[in-house]
Chain A
Amino acid sequence: GAVVSQHPSWVICKSGTSVKIECRSLDFQATTMFWYRQFPKQSLMLMATSNEGSKATYEQGVEKDKFLINHASLTLSTLTVTSAHPEDSSFYICSASRDSYGYTFGSGTRLTVV
């Protein structure tokens, strides 16, 4: 199969703190993972492409110092929202691709900044 596990599923944090979200490929190696953000009733917006062993590629308009991505191994990518503010509250989803299975998505993380 092609399973992607994402944790935590929801998190509440205080304004000004940092939050880390993990994305793991459980039964395959993923040299590339993708991080998305989704606002209510809208489609997914790609934030960045996470590359194992190298720097992430960010989409236009996404602050790389605000959303730190680390892809330290072939099965783990992390997204850290630094100095979170209420406007960072959103639904974050990761995904990875595996040749014959297409793209697999994590279950998402609901971030609420208070």
Chain B
Amino acid sequence: KQEVTQIPAALSVPEGENLVLNCSFTDSAIYNLQWFRQDPGKGLTSLLLIQSSQREQTSGRLNASLDKSSGRSTLYIAASQPGDSATYLCAVPPKAAGNKLTFGGGTRVLVKP
């Protein structure tokens, strides 16, 4: 059974610092890995999707790496801003597409102005 863990559970940084969020998973037979952002009382917004054959994905200030062999993914957010304050979730489906996701517990980020 796939288990996904996110460390740290919460993170508070001053504006401008880089953020490093970690995600680990126990079963390396994944189809892809997806990072989401959730604001309080809102749904999830997809940030980055990394296919199992890829090592990283980038979008603006966001960069996510994937190391299947060690069961790890890291989300980097450069030059953090107060608007980056949210909960960040990583999730993996099993090998076949369309099956249910396994979520990590999330990292709650606060960027202080």
Residues of A within 8 A of B (CB): 6, 31-32, 34, 43-44, 46, 49, 91, 93, 95, 97, 99, 101-108, 110
Contact = CB atoms under 8 A, between A and B. Distances in A.
Interface in B26-61: 32, 34, 36, 41-46, 49
A106 B34 contact: no
- Interface bin, chain B: 20 to 34
Contact of A107 (B43, B49, B89, B105): B43
With most chain A CB atoms within 10 A of its CB, the pick from B34, B41, B44, B103 is B44
B97 A103 contact: no
Contacts of A31: 98
B46 A106 contact: no
14 contacts: A32-B98, A43-B103, A43-B105, A44-B44, A93-B43, A95-B101, A97-B93, A101-B46, A102-B46, A103-B93, A103-B101, A105-B36, A105-B43, A108-B41
Contacts of A97: 93, 97-98
B109 interface: no
B91 interface: yes
Nearest to A94: B43
Given A49-B100, A102-B32, A105-B36, A93 B105 contact: no
Contacts of A91: 41
A89 B53 CA distance: 41
B9 to A, nearest CB: 11
